[in-house]
Chains A and B, each alone.
Chain A
Amino acid sequence: MLSEFLNAAFLVALVAATFRMVTPILFTAIGLLVVNRGGIVDLSTEGVMLMGALAGFTAAYYSGSLWLGVLVGALTGGAISLLTAFLVVILKMNQSVSGIAINMLAAGLSFYLFRLIYGSSGETVPTVSTFDPLPIPLLSEIPVIGKVFFSQYALTYLAFIMVVLVWAFLYKTKSGLVIRCTGDNPRTVDTKGISVNLVHTALLVFGGMMYGIGGAFLPLVATGLYVPGISAGRGWIAIAIVIFGNFRPFRVMFGALLFGFLDALQLQIQGIGIDFPYQLLIALPYVLTIIVLIIGGKSSGKPLHLGIPYHRE
């Protein structure tokens, strides 16, 4: 039985599945990381992913362009986060409550819109042909490794590139410093004449676009079809992963990889039909999430002003 685990085909499939699982979560987590570093708690990730998935899928379905789907997913996410910004930045509403409200709205709205657009008959399931992997020339020809790591989807590369970009942005640019300081003490930037509201709004819109892309990845790459509730808790898991990653880009990336790996592992083990209660395997990543949250409760990298609305007086 062990040999089955260790054969090359299994490993390649495992790694490929890992990356497929990681990508949407990584997009969302890295977007959320930036929002959190600016001091905003955003629980709307799950709902925004869902809306991004539906909008992205619909755009791709009617236009035939997958990339247009990705773009529309991003824009939809950005637009919903603009609503979040209105609630928490302008109205100074409780950030957790606002996030939950957006989730509930998105859950209902996505279901309703799906029915509206595609009907409820269920005779013909709308599908799109998914993205093809994009092997990187030369690198993908390296034996084993090439096939494992350098024959992924364009969006997967993009997700990892975003990690590097976000890291460079946060730690190597002046705007990044402004964001980090805003998260710890918004007055530090307010007293320099920088609008805290503007910073927060920009971060939320960026974050929303990332969640939207993360959501759009699901129908456009992973499944090829949209089913209600397609995000399946990934938005929540992204929140846990940011905490696990102690609000640091590369640690968040490792957290996402770990989660993706466990998720892929359970799929692959199910796939080869080992006699093991698969429900336990499915639960594994979620159990991990809970453990992470318990441990991460006192994470040291947490921005000091996280979740507290900023009032000047």
Chain B
Amino acid sequence: MQQKSQPILQIENQTKRFGNVLANENISMQVCGGEIHCLLGENGAGKSTLAECLYGFYRPDSGKYTFKGKEFKPRSPRDAIDAGIGMVHQHFVLSPPMTVIENIVVGTESDGIWLDLKSASEKVAALCSDYDLDLELDTIVGQLPVGRQQWVEILKALYVGVDLLILDEPTASLTPQEVEKLFEILQKMKTKGLSVILITHKLHEVMEISDRVTVLRKARLVGTVNTIDVTRETLVNMMVGRTVSFQVAKKIKTPGRAILELRDLHVLKDNGLDGVKDFSLSICENEIVGLAGVAGNGQSELFDAIVGVRQLQNGQILLSGEDISNDSPDMVIKKGIASIPPDRMTQGLLMGFPIKENLILGRHRVAPFKKGIELKYRVIEQFAEQAIEHYEVVATSGEQIAKTLSGGNLQKVILARELSHDPRFVVASSPTRGLDVGAMEYVHKRLVELRDSGIGILLISEDLDEVFNVSDRIAVIYNGEAMGILNREEATREGVGLLMAGFRGGGG
């Protein structure tokens, strides 16, 4: 589908630096009216920066925007909103204890000083029915699943009226069904003549929904292409400058002895309800077990229980036969369990600390990073340098503060920390969320390498592609219960999908 319409937005020669980091260099692109335009690029390529500049959140160092035929110089998000540009940020910007409608209305301009939630609700309800969104406007936002929270973000933009909506990695934490729904919304926006800039790492999404694609690499523009003219491979090549294999090469390995055994685990959620019930699973040496499931079915509680931050109500966790149930998180790490948490910002990293210190968290009390009461910064810095190189973290040095890293690079820092310290067992929750294809390939390869070296891995993921790609066996969790376990060879997507939806007897 080629767009012949006038460009609604024109970016000319945008450059943006953060200190001595060059995030955007001389980037020019155009977005047409009524098109869905994907922005593609590796982690740290500068996609979010480009978007945030356009939204008036950052001030570009140089460059010029023309929006709807007029020169556009946003000095704050207010200017962007007034001009008709909306944005859904990479990390949601919501106030969890407030209701949906309050989150939508806050800070919008209208007459008078009084808050008129009633007429706002009517307006939003109309939008909801326009876009087929089934949303209770009085619900507390924090109680909504992630997919719904995203609707709220989109409604925030639609409510003030946008001509161009920017979505920064909106699908990173959505279930396949939620992605489907999101794309329906975007298609509807398109038919209404709105333009969309969509940032994503998932190529099949790009192929499915976009009209055109602009690719960035290392802060520079590679080019803009029509989606119908390209293949996934071309895009990958444009992005990383080489080919990437989506399928990891895996040697056949016979699993060894059981390394981690979960026996009849019973774990509660924060609200006291059952999170995980009677859950049993064992993972062997030389084996990757993928745990598939729709988000919110007990995966995070299970993860917490294994790493020792959530109390077991019942059951046992054995590591090589040794009972580690209710060991402290510190002990769990010492005994060789590495973990990649689902939420990198709150569970994985200290955002205000430099990369080098983040890289030794949890290992800061053992040699070689510590001697006596002193941290060996020389060793730590060396280690950081290596880790940054191996994992291709886009950073100036180990001194860079975590919160100034791009989303995908944050994830790489966690991976580098957890996978470099010779673990005996790894529990990884969505380890490639937000990673670009090159980085994803690397992580998958690394996981398989670890498995080949004798380590057992539990891979908790909502991404079926990932689960099928690297697992030796596939387990499914639904509503806190184990729905069954299948060998990779006998598993089908349909079968696993059925189990994920709670139908037993699916599977092979």
Contacts and interface: CB of A to CB of B under 8 A. Distances in A.
A296 B98 CA distance: 21
Given A181-B95, A181-B103, A188-B93, 10 more contacts: A174-B105, A177-B115, A180-B98, A181-B106, A188-B106, A191-B77, A193-B78, A194-B107, A313-B403, A313-B404
Contacts of A176: 115
21 contacts: A174-B112, A174-B114, A174-B115, A177-B115, A178-B106, A180-B102, A181-B98, A181-B107, A184-B95, A184-B96, A185-B96, A187-B93, A188-B93, A188-B106, A190-B57, A191-B57, A192-B77, A193-B80, A193-B81, A304-B95, A313-B403
Contacts of A188: 93-95, 103, 106-107
A193 B79 contact: yes
A175 B87 contact: no
Contacts of A174: 105, 110, 112-115
Contact of A191 (B89, B112, B114, B404): B89
A178 B107 CA distance: 6
Query: What bracket does the count of chain B residues touching chain A fall in?
Result: 20 to 34
Contacts of B321: none
A189 B114 CA distance: 17
B497 interface: no
Contact of B93 (A175, A177, A185): A185
A193 B95 contact: no
B97 interface: yes
Contacts of B87: 191
B107 A189 contact: yes
B226 interface: no
A184 B57 CA distance: 20
A172 interface: yes
B355 to A, nearest CB: 16
Contact of A184 (B55, B97, B105, B113): B97
B107 A172 contact: no
A173 B89 contact: no
Interface in A132-176: 171-176
Contact of B114 (A172, A185, A187, A304): A172
B255 interface: no
A173 B114 contact: yes
Contacts of B79: 193
Contacts of A180: 95, 98, 102
B56 interface: yes
A298 interface: no
Which applies to chain A's interface (DSSP): helix, strand, loop or mixed?
helix
Contacts of B3: none
B407 to A, nearest CB: 13
A193 B94 contact: no
Nearest to A184: B95
Interface string B82-98: 00000101000111111
B234 interface: no
Given A188-B107, A313-B404, A193 B115 contact: no
A188 B56 CA distance: 14
B108 interface: yes
A1 to B, nearest CB: 49
A300 to B, nearest CB: 9
Which 8 residue pairs are nearest across A and B when measured between Cβ atoms? A193-B78, A192-B107, A184-B95, A193-B77, A193-B76, A181-B95, A187-B93, A181-B106
A172 B57 CA distance: 29
B102 A177 contact: yes
A182 to B, nearest CB: 9
A176 B78 CA distance: 19
Contacts of A192: 77-78, 81, 106-108
A180 B95 CA distance: 9
A195 to B, nearest CB: 8
Nearest to B160: A192
B94 A185 contact: yes
Interface string A70-111: 000000000000000000000000000000000000000000
Nearest to A174: B115
B56 A189 contact: no
B113 A185 contact: no
Contacts of B112: 174
Interface in A283-313: 304, 312-313
A177 B105 contact: yes
Interface in A184-237: 184-185, 187-194
**Max chain B Cβ within 10 angstroms of own Cβ: one of A185, A189, A192, A304:** A192
B96 A173 contact: no
Nearest to A183: B95
Contact of A193 (B96, B102, B107): B107
A156 to B, nearest CB: 27
Interface in B179-219: none
A176 B103 CA distance: 13
A187 B55 CA distance: 14
A185 B78 CA distance: 18
Nearest to A311: B403
Contact of B102 (A181, A187, A313): A181
Contacts of B77: 190-193
B352 to A, nearest CB: 9
Contacts of A313: 403-404
Q: Max chain B CB contacts within 10 Å: which of A173, A191, A304, A312?
A: A191
A7 to B, nearest CB: 48
A185 B404 contact: no
A184 B99 CA distance: 12
A187 B106 CA distance: 11
B431 to A, nearest CB: 26
B485 to A, nearest CB: 39
With most chain A CB atoms within 10 A of its CB, the pick from B55, B95, B105, B114 is B95
B113 A175 contact: yes
A181 B56 CA distance: 20
Nearest to B74: A193
Contacts of B94: 185, 188
Contacts of B93: 185, 187-188, 191
A19 to B, nearest CB: 31
B17 to A, nearest CB: 13
Contacts of A189: 106-107
